[in-house]
Amino acid sequence: MTCNPATNSKGFTLLEVLIALTIISLALGALISTSGSQASSAAYLKQKTIAHWVAMNEINQLQLEKAFPGKGDTKGSTQMAGIEWYWTRTVKETEDENSRQVEIRIFLDEARESSLTGLIGYLSRSATTLPQP
């Protein structure tokens, strides 16, 4: 019995190799795209988390000052995690004359065009002022 090389081949044809390479390249392209978007999402979430901490610190600072805040808007900036964070604080009256609503918005840019996060808190006169002698 003689072996015919055309009928007894054990390798891949060029077409099969090209199809396999095409499938692998599509899969790797999708993997690289997914990992890139996950990296940018992680960076964005890190920024939002730190921005929320800045907002909480600003509310806590008002509580520590023990002064009843006046109505109106205030702008400022805070350094945290090596980044300058810009904030706006809006103090509004509530139905209770002994409490105020405080809204803090955090921005990355000094122009304060797009906020990363916002936090609303309430301060009461009894919790912020010291008793009078």
Report whether pLDDT(9) > 70: no
Report whether pLDDT(79) > 90: yes
Compute CA distances 36 → 1, 31, 42, 63, whole Å.
58, 9, 10, 41
Report whether pLDDT(77) > 90: yes
Give the pair of three-digit tokens for residue 78. 């805070």
Mean pLDDT of the chain: 86
Question: Given this structure, which CATH class describes domain 14-128?
Answer: alpha beta
pTM score: 0.68
**How confident is the model over 88-114, as pLDDT tens digits?**
999 999 999 889 999 999 999 999 998
Q: Where are the domains of the chain?
A: 14-128
Give the integer Cα–Cα distance in Å for 77 and 43.
21
**What pLDDT is attached to residue 58?**
94
**How confident is the model over 23-60, as pLDDT tens digits?**
998 988 888 888 878 877 888 999 999 999 999 999 99
